[in-house]
A and B are shown apart, each in its own frame.
Chain A
Amino acid sequence: MQDYFEPAPPAPENGGESLTVEQAIANLRGDDLGLRYYAAWWLGRFRIREPAAVEALLAALEDESDRTDDGGYPLRRNAARALGKLGDQRSVPALIWCLESSDYYLREAAAQSLEMLNAAASVPVLMQMLAGGVEAAVLVPGKPHLAQPYNSVIEALGTLHATEAISLIQPFLEHPVKRVQYSAARAMYQLTGQSIYAERLVQALHGDELQLRRSALMDLGAIGYLPAAEAIAETLAENSLKLIALKGILEHQLGSNPTQPPSLSDNAIQVMTVMDSLL
């Protein structure tokens, strides 16, 4: 009964469990590439929001020492992912700069983090990444990925309310890769509020491939589409993932006043009843 979303255990060979904040920051500034890579992940995982951590991660975004054979930047990728989790707006310009990196996976990490940071300033560069439309959105020869991280770019544009990107995103509903179609449907729902787009994700819950059903679950949770609650409960996937998706839907039903216990609508109670049945 392996759970899809069990947290990854720390890697003890990298000093995992014994790290302190000071050590992690020191490791990130040190010479050992393994320790630097791990420290970047660790600071994000444990949401270390101290200014010194943010500054060390920003410095790591310009690292030149950690390179893959084909020119990728593993440390920069981890630093970009961590910065998204720390919520510090000072990271935004550096992450926008990463969107233009030669490293696909760094561009992907940066787009996801800019989405998490709600960084409206990134919209123009994200839109440029869709240039050439669906025709340009093909596999890079010899690589397992498309020309751009379209999923992350399109999802970020949806979350950032970039209505000026609607006409760029809409054609991606017909992209040959299903995951890209889902991202487009998700963003189109966020940008237009039209349920026809969310219903495409509900349909996707009936697909044959587990990986795609999981993906649609996460998308429906992210957009908080209430009418999907029953279909989410019934799709063939792990309960852990269904619960995460329903959590997203429930959050959209609850007003978020941090000083008061939430007040419950009938819809919210209904979603909780479904969640209870999946425990």
Chain B
Amino acid sequence: MFSDAIMTKDESIQKLIQAVDEADSADGLLNAVKALAAVRSPAAIPSLIQVLRYNNPGAAVAAVDGLILLGEPAVQAILDQLDSYNYGARAWAVRALAGIGDPRGIDLLISAAETDFALSVRRAAARGLGNLQWVGLSSELVRDDQERTYNTLSKVCQDPEWVVRYAGIVGLQGLGSAVPADRPAWFSQLLAQLQQMAQADAELVVRARAVLATQTLTA
């Protein structure tokens, strides 16, 4: 009985994967990806990553959502398959890693936040750096990685695009909320930078977001 149930489940996932492979229209692909993502099975990971390579934003969004739902088990596969990626796929992978928040994605998120030419990728990476889940890691490693994350977000807050600076502040708030109670040396610099932006950023909405981050971190 039990093995029958497993078999049926595997078969149904294989069918969903096949539907993604064989989709012959943009809508067909979108629906197939949504259906595959909905079962939240690790067996779907390679197919979902494959979809990031197609030039189909709707399907890519659905695949990213599916990978984020799967979380930690998807991270290594995303990183392993990254080198052969086209640019579009890399940008979607950044989105997925930003949503999952696994610290194994830190190097990719740092380089995307600092150097990607597309502001949408820089802003997603900045948000992702503030969303990294540090719990359960050795505190020495965490200390270095958090400081690297801080240094990157601090640079991101000087980006020429308002929305990237906004995302940098969201990232700083996330990072600031995650640091241990014995705060690292850079924490006061982080608060000073937020206060400076609240006072002097060229964009009103960026100043407002810096106020909110300061209030949240000092509450």
Cβ contacts under 8 Å, A263 to chain B:
211
The A-B contact count (CB < 8 A) is 68
Tell whether, in the assembled complex, residue A243 and residue B163 are in contact, meaning their CB atoms are under 8 Å apart: yes
Which A residue's beta carbon lies closest to that of B123?
A279
A202 at the interface (CB under 8 A from B): no
Interface of B, helix, strand, loop or mixed by DSSP? helix
Interface size on A, residues (CB 8 A): 23
Which B residue's beta carbon lies closest to that of A239?
B120
> Which of A240, A251, A261, A275 is most buried by chain B, counting CB atoms within 10 A of its CB?
A261
Partner of B204, one of A243, A254, A269: A254
Tell whether, in the assembled complex, residue A272 and residue B121 are in contact, meaning their CB atoms are under 8 Å apart: no
Which A residue's beta carbon lies closest to that of B171?
A279
A240 to B57, CA, bound (A): 14
Tell whether, in the assembled complex, residue A261 and residue B198 are in contact, meaning their CB atoms are under 8 Å apart: yes
Given A1-B92, A1-B121, A3-B120, CB of A262 within 8 Å of CB of B127: no
Partner of B211, one of A1, A3, A262, A275: A262
Which A residue's beta carbon lies closest to that of B209?
A272
Tell whether, in the assembled complex, residue B163 and residue A240 are in contact, meaning their CB atoms are under 8 Å apart: yes
Which B residue's beta carbon lies closest to that of A268?
B208
Partner of B207, one of A238, A239, A261: A261
B167 at the interface (CB under 8 A from A): yes
Tell whether, in the assembled complex, residue B57 and residue A247 are in contact, meaning their CB atoms are under 8 Å apart: no
A64 at the interface (CB under 8 A from B): no
Which B residue's beta carbon lies closest to that of A249?
B205
Which B residue's beta carbon lies closest to that of A244?
B163
A6 at the interface (CB under 8 A from B): yes
B150 at the interface (CB under 8 A from A): no
- A 243-264 binary contact with B (CB < 8 Å = 1; else 0): 1100100110010100001111
Tell whether, in the assembled complex, residue B208 and residue A279 are in contact, meaning their CB atoms are under 8 Å apart: no
B118 at the interface (CB under 8 A from A): yes
Which B residue's beta carbon lies closest to that of A260?
B199
A69 at the interface (CB under 8 A from B): no
A137 to B207, CA, bound (A): 43
A104 to B104, CA, bound (A): 56
A70 at the interface (CB under 8 A from B): no
Tell whether, in the assembled complex, residue B211 and residue A264 are in contact, meaning their CB atoms are under 8 Å apart: yes
B20 at the interface (CB under 8 A from A): no
A142 to B195, CA, bound (A): 57
Tell whether, in the assembled complex, residue A250 and residue B91 are in contact, meaning their CB atoms are under 8 Å apart: no
Tell whether, in the assembled complex, residue B126 and residue A279 are in contact, meaning their CB atoms are under 8 Å apart: yes
Partner of A279, one of B162, B167, B215: B167
Given A1-B88, A243-B163, A261-B199, CB of A272 within 8 Å of CB of B208: yes
Given A261-B199, A279-B127, CB of A1 within 8 Å of CB of B205: no
Tell whether, in the assembled complex, residue B209 and residue A279 are in contact, meaning their CB atoms are under 8 Å apart: no
Partner of A262, one of B57, B120, B121, B207: B207
A238 to B95, CA, bound (A): 14
A22 at the interface (CB under 8 A from B): no
Partner of B120, one of A1, A251, A275: A1
Cβ contacts under 8 Å, B91 to chain A:
1
Cβ contacts under 8 Å, A6 to chain B:
118-120
Which A residue's beta carbon lies closest to that of B163?
A243
B: which residues have CB within 8 A of A?
A: 57, 60, 88, 91-92, 118-121, 123-124, 126-127, 162-163, 166-167, 170, 195, 198-199, 204-205, 207-212, 215
Interface CB pairs A-B, < 8 A, 29: A1-B57, A1-B60, A1-B91, A1-B118, A6-B120, A239-B120, A240-B120, A240-B163, A243-B163, A247-B163, A250-B208, A251-B205, A254-B205, A261-B207, A261-B211, A262-B198, A262-B204, A262-B208, A264-B212, A264-B215, A268-B208, A269-B212, A272-B205, A275-B166, A275-B209, A276-B127, A279-B123, A279-B126, A279-B167
